[in-house]
């Protein structure tokens, strides 16, 4: 009798709560869109072992052991190939889940098509501000790495705390992937929402030389300088700022380097040339904004395995630094997140084909990722934590994390932090008159061309930002003719490329 009751009971349990008691059983078709080129930190060879690791973890768990992930990889490049790969796949059967792409211009069309096909997409990239529009074309996108907008909120918090009012943004633009453009777009968006006056300068990636004189003369008047560029260009700029005595008292310097931890920190000023000592002194005024890296004991196993896989695929890994980057962590956690969401959706009687419900089940969720807690906001974007790293010992040149930021707008000073590093002792001065004279072989001519080309430049920049924000506030000052010329030349290209990827509203 009691045996009969317990049988009834277990049948009842199975019937009433299928998702809670029975393990999931399904084949999940996963399409991974990443570039097949190890110059990218998110190349397939680097990220694939992380996805495999997650797959093994799920396979070994009681609840998810029945899920079979058929992972298929396509080379997305960083441009249009990603879309073609996805569309070609349509000839067979559409995937149940898309992981990637990372590059903005590869991601945009893929996200649109996947959203249209009701397929969930999770990416550790697509960090640009435009992707936050989840009401229409990016409706099925979940971003598992902290976006540029979240990063920019850390700037806002610190601007508010130290009551800074003006910022000068310097970014490098390669006219292709445009990482620094999108990074600064986030900063610009957030700061201008709070009426912080921003001005900006663009460095052309394809040019070796940086017009430091031109940049310096337009930096006067801004309290805070925020830069995003390759390590060598940051060094050149910092050397120039230091020589012109802008580093002490009147300006605060930030450099944004979210992903490549080998390009900042101890020794990042060193090139083995005669400027090393000067560079070290200049770098003692530089603050680098990066992702907060948290680790837990389980992470070690993951880290060791990633190192091994990379060595096997011939990717150089340095001995003492981390072989794991944010993209590996992100795509690992993406598979877990999908499995959690799928379980919840299936327990409500839906299937893996209910892409919209699975996507929404991933949002507004906090779970334990490989490196620590991962929390997604109600719009499906990861809440991020960031750190500021600075040289704390100018003699030894060693760096430390001096502040950590939570996305909730609070920041926590670390033991090495000194408030005076962020105190402006003198108001930014106007540029010294001597400089204006020295740069004017023919003042009349350059003033006129400055006006005309300045107008073109202004239009180009405004157009560029127009597609992302309609309410902007921007001041444009003098720029060098060479830079202006370049921007004028690329104006057409820039507008076209933006229009095709992030169409105007």
Residues that bind ligand NAG (CB under 6 A): 37, 39, 41, 56, 59, 231, 260, 262-263, 364, 378, 406, 408, 410
Least distance CB 60 / ligand NAG (angstroms)? 6
Determine contact, residues 318/263, Cβ cutoff 8 Å: no
Length of the chain: 505
- The CB-of-161 to ligand NAG minimum distance in angstroms stands at 14
C-alpha–C-alpha distance, residues 454 and 102, integer Å: 34
Rounded to 10 deg, the angle between the 81-89 and 104-116 helix axes is 30
> CA 243, CA 237: separation in Å to the nearest integer?
10
Q: What would the DSSP string read from start to end of 92-113?
A: S---SEEE---SHHHHHHHHHH
Nearer to ligand NAG, 115 or 361 (CB): 361
Q: Is the distance from CB of 225 to CB of 282 less than 8 angstroms? A: no
C-alpha to C-alpha distance for 64 and 62, rounded to whole angstroms: 6
| Residue 221 backbone zone (phi > 0: left; psi -120 to 50: alpha; other: beta) | left
Tell me how far, at minimum, the Cβ of 128 lies from ligand NAG, in Å: 18
| Distance in Å, CB of 488 to ligand NAG, minimum | 26
Cis peptide before 101 (omega within 30 of 0): yes
Q: Considering only CA atoms, which of 91, 41, 97, 78 is closest in space to residue 339?
A: 97
Pick the closer one to ligand NAG by CB: 131 or 411: 411
Distance of closest approach, residue 42 Cβ to ligand NAG, in angstroms: 9
CB of 39 to ligand NAG, least distance (A): 4
Beta bridge partners of 390: 287, 400
3-state helix, strand, coil in the chain (%, to 5): 45, 15, 40
Task: Count Cα neighbours of 224 within 13 Å in the Cβ-side half-sphere.
Answer: 24
Between residues 408 and 475, which has the closer beta carbon with respect to ligand NAG? 408
**Among residues 39 and 136, whose Cβ is nearest to ligand NAG?**
39
Radius of gyration of the chain (CA): 25
Nearer to ligand NAG, 313 or 364 (CB): 364
- Would the CA dihedral through 358, 360, 363, 364 be positive or negative? negative
Please say which residue, 284 or 361, places its beta carbon nearer to ligand NAG: 361
Instruction: Report the nearest approach of ligand NAG to the CB of residue 271 (Å).
Output: 10
If the CB atoms of residues 251 and 307 are measured against ligand NAG, the closer one turns out to be 307
Give whichever of 205 and 449 is closer to ligand NAG, judged by the CB atom: 205
Give the nearer residue to ligand NAG in terms of CB position, either 290 or 480: 290
2 CB-near residues (< 8 Å, 6+ apart): none
Q: Work out how close the CB of 427 gets to ligand NAG at its nearest, in angstroms, rounded to a whole number.
A: 33
CB of 231: closest distance to ligand NAG in angstroms? 4
């Amino acid at each position: 009798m009691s045996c009969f009751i317990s049988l009834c009971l277990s049948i009842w349990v199975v019937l009433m709560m299928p998702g809670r008691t029975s393990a999931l059983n399904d084949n999940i078709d996963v399409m991974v869109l990443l570039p097949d080129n190890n110059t990218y930190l998110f190349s397939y060879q680097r990220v694939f072992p992380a996805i495999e690791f997650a797959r093994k973890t799920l396979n070994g768990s009681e609840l998810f052991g029945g899920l079979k992930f058929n992972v298929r990889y396509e080379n997305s490049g960083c441009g249009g190939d990603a879309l073609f790969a996805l569309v070609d796949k349509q000839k067979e059967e559409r995937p149940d889940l898309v992981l990637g792409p990372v590059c903005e211009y590869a991601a945009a069309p893929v996200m649109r098509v996947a959203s249209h096909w009701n397929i969930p997409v999770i990416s550790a990239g697509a960090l640009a501000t435009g992707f936050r529009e989840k009401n229409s074309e990016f409706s099925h996108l979940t971003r598992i790495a902290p976006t540029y907008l979240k990063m920019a909120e850390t700037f806002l918090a610190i601007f508010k705390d130290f009551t800074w009012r003006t910022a000068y943004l310097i970014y490098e633009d390669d006219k292709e992937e445009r990482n620094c453009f999108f990074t600064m777009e986030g900063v610009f968006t957030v700061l201008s929402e709070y009426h912080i006056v921003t001005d900006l300068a663009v460095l052309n990636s394809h040019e070796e030389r940086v017009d430091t004189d031109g940049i310096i003369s337009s930096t006067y008047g801004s309290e805070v300088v925020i830069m995003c560029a390759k390590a060598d260009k940051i060094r050149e700029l910092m050397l120039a700022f230091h020589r012109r005595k802008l580093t002490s008292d009147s300006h605060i310097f930030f450099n944004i380097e979210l992903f490549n931890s080998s390009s900042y920190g101890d020794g990042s000023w060193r090139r083995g040339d005669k400027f090393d000592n000067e560079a070290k002194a200049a770098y003692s005024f530089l603050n680098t904004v990066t992702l907060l890296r948290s680790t837990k004991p389980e992470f070690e196993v993951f880290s060791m395995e990633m190192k091994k896989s990379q060595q096997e695929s011939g990717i150089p890994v340095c001995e003492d630094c981390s072989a794991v980057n944010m993209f590996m962590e992100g795509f690992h956690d993406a598979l877990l997140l999908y499995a959690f969401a799928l379980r919840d959706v299936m327990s409500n009687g839906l299937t893996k084909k209910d892409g919209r419900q699975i996507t929404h089940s991933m949002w507004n969720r906090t779970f334990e990722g490989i490196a620590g807690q991962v929390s997604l906001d109600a719009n499906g974007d990861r809440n991020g934590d960031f750190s500021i790293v600075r040289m704390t010992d100018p003699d030894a040149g060693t760096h430390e994390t001096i502040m950590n930021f939570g996305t909730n707008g609070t920041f926590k000073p670390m033991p090495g932090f000194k408030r005076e590093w962020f105190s402006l002792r003198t108001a930014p001065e106007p540029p010294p008159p001597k400089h204006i004279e020295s740069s004017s072989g023919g003042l009349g001519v350059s003033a006129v061309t400055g006006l005309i080309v300045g107008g073109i430049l202004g239009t180009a920049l405004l157009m560029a930002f127009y597609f992302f924000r309609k309410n902007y506030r921007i001041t444009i000052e003098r720029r060098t003719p060479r830079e202006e010329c370049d921007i004028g030349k690329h104006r057409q290209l820039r507008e076209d490329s933006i229009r095709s990827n992030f169409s105007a509203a």
